[in-house]
């Protein structure tokens, strides 16, 4: 019996380890240093990541769920970097009320179901006081439902679909919304490009793409323009020739493609192969260095609406760009700027709130007014949406050129 007892204990240990592994959530904590090295051609910061939770009582923990892998990975890496940078600056300045601010980051893989699981884990297991993320509206919608139900404030830096903040009073955003962005490009097409006929190619499984299409179509028509054709694809598709052939037959003067860079670059190449030489128009989902890699010369001469331009000479913006380059080795895109702004709004709310309860933080965030963000001055309206201008950028050879600003 003495020899069988150790064997029995060993067997039980193996069984318990197996059960433990099976019950781990799909969303796992990311290795910040490895992810940083993959983003925007840069490397991890020289200092320890701001988002390394200590588990100590003198730390305020924020939760981040974003796409660090999958088709929108560059968005998630930029978002994580922007938040990390803001937290590092805050901690170097003394933190909040004598406490350090840290973040725990989970990769939602660009999938709504993973996003929902990640936020649930952040709230129930990690006990974060606030959630930041995501970029894709479909993911943020799934996250917002969980945060609202738990009474934990959530700030999305860059999800533009109006439905996100409609989930409830605990959900905020610091970017403009699709109705404004759709209006911006419709106005730009009619008044700046002087086009009257536009075709649309939308992602029929993306809340972001569908929302932009609806607004652009309505506004462009109201301004006297005509939609010659509306075609659809699904995220992950690689062949768009059938849709582009149908669009070519409608003889548009431009094509509105409100999708993400991962598809837009390929669409641009295939459009040019078919002899479609008209400019493509889009939204902030284009904003990634990968767009130039995927689209090459085919995407040049096209335009998209965005939240900021790194070429803006304003001193605080150029300081942000320089600091980001030093930390991550690349020029910060709009997603990095918006995430940096969202984290700073969160930090300001932590300073103003009497405690870290959900209600106190919610009320403090709601008071955000004339906040000097990198991606525009932020004032939150009664629906918890930011009122701010947009810029239109022209795609060049590996970079973008500022064209104009459109105010609300």
Domain count for the chain: 2
Verify that 134 and 220 share a domain, yes or no. Answer: no
Among 275, 306, 337, which residue terminates a domain? 306
Verify that 193 and 71 share a domain, yes or no. Answer: no
Please state the length of the chain.
408
Verify that 135 and 185 share a domain, yes or no. Answer: no
Averaged pLDDT, 172-201: 95
- Whether residue 4 lies inside any domain: the answer is no
Beta strand spans in 98-235 (E): 100-107, 130-132, 154-156, 171-173, 197-203, 226-233
Please say if the pLDDT value at position 20 is more than 70: no
Verify that 93 and 144 share a domain, yes or no. Answer: yes
Q: Give the residue among 192, 196, 74, 191 at the shortest CA–CA distance from 135.
A: 74
**Can you read off the two tokens belonging to residue 277?**
């030489």
Contact 245, 255 (CB under 8 A): no
Structural domain of 56: 32-176+315-388
CATH code, 237: 3.40.50.2300
- Whether residue 7 lies inside any domain: the answer is no
Question: What's the pLDDT at 178?
Answer: 86
Residues whose CB falls within 8 Å of the CB of residue 127, separated by 6 or more in sequence, listed in order: 61
Residues above pLDDT 70, as percent of the chain: 86
Please say if the pLDDT value at position 113 is more than 50: yes
- Whether residue 185 lies inside any domain: the answer is yes
Averaged pLDDT, 128-157: 96
Contact 206, 136 (CB under 8 A): yes
- Whether residue 196 lies inside any domain: the answer is yes
Question: What's the pLDDT at 333?
Answer: 93
Verify that 169 and 94 share a domain, yes or no. Answer: yes
Verify that 194 and 266 share a domain, yes or no. Answer: yes
Verify that 287 and 186 share a domain, yes or no. Answer: yes
Kindly indicate the confidence band of residue 185, based on its pLDDT and cuts at 50, 70 and 90: very high
Average pLDDT, the chain: 87
3-class DSSP state for residue 219?
A: helix
Question: What's the pLDDT at 3?
Answer: 37
- Whether residue 397 lies inside any domain: the answer is no
Please say if the pLDDT value at position 45 is more than 70: no
Among 306, 331, 348, which residue terminates a domain? 306
> Among 173-177, 187-191, 403-407, where is mean pLDDT lowest?
403-407
Q: Which helix (H) or strand (E) holds 233?
A: strand 226-233
Please say if the pLDDT value at position 46 is more than 60: no
The 130-132 sheet, strands edge to edge: 100-107, 59-66, 130-132, 154-156, 171-173
- Whether residue 336 lies inside any domain: the answer is yes
Name the phi and psi angles at 144, rounded to 5: -60, -35
pLDDT digits (tens, 9 = 90+) for 268-319: 999 999 999 999 999 999 998 899 999 999 999 999 999 999 988 889 999 9
Verify that 49 and 154 share a domain, yes or no. Answer: yes
Tokens 């999708």 locate to: 259
- Whether residue 151 lies inside any domain: the answer is yes
Verify that 226 and 133 share a domain, yes or no. Answer: no
Residue scoring higher pLDDT (256 or 71): 256
Verify that 251 and 134 share a domain, yes or no. Answer: no
- Whether residue 152 lies inside any domain: the answer is yes
Verify that 69 and 164 share a domain, yes or no. Answer: yes
Verify that 48 and 164 share a domain, yes or no. Answer: yes
Among 272, 306, 340, which residue terminates a domain? 306
């Amino acid at each position: 019996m003495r020899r069988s007892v150790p064997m029995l204990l060993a067997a039980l240990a193996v069984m318990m380890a197996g059960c433990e592994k099976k019950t781990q959530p799909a969303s796992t904590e990311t290795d910040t240093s490895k992810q940083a090295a993959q983003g925007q051609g840069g490397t991890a910061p020289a200092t320890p990541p701001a988002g390394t939770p200590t588990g100590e009582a003198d730390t305020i923990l924020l939760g981040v769920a974003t796409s660090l892998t999958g088709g929108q990975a560059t968005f998630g890496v930029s978002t994580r970097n922007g938040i990390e940078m803001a937290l590092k600056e805050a901690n170097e300045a003394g933190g909040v009320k004598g406490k350090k601010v840290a973040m725990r980051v989970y990769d939602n893989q660009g999938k709504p179901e993973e996003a929902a699981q990640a936020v649930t884990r952040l709230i129930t297991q990690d006990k974060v006081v606030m959630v930041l993320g995501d970029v894709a509206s479909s993911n943020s919608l799934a996250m917002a439902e969980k945060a609202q139900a738990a009474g934990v404030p959530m700030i999305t830096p860059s999800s533009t679909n109006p439905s996100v903040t409609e989930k409830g009073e605990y959900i905020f955003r610091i970017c403009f919304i699709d109705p404004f962005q759709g209006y911006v490009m419709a106005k730009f097409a009619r008044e700046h490009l002087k086009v009257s006929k536009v075709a649309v190619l939308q992602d029929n499984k993306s809340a972001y793409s569908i929302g932009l299409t609806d607004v652009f179509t309505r506004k462009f028509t109201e301004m006297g323009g005509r939609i010659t054709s509306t075609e659809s694809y699904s995220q992950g598709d690689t062949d768009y020739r059938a849709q582009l052939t149908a669009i070519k037959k409608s003889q548009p003067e431009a094509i509105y493609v409100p999708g993400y860079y991962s598809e837009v670059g390929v669409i641009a190449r295939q459009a040019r192969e078919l002899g479609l030489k008209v400019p493509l128009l889009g939204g902030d989902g284009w904003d990634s260095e990968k767009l130039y890699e995927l689209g090459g010369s085919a995407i040049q001469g096209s335009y998209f609406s965005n939240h900021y331009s790194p070429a803006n000479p304003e001193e605080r913006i150029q300081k942000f760009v320089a600091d980001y380059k030093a930390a991550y080795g690349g020029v910060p895109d709009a997603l990095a700027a918006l995430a940096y702004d969202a984290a700073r709004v969160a930090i300001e709310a932590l300073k103003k709130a009497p405690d870290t309860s959900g209600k106190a933080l919610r009320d403090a965030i709601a008071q955000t007014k004339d906040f000097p963000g990198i991606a525009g001055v932020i004032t939150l309206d009664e629906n918890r949406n930011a009122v701010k201008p947009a810029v239109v950028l022209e795609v060049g050879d590996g970079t973008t050129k500022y064209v104009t600003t459109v105010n609300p």
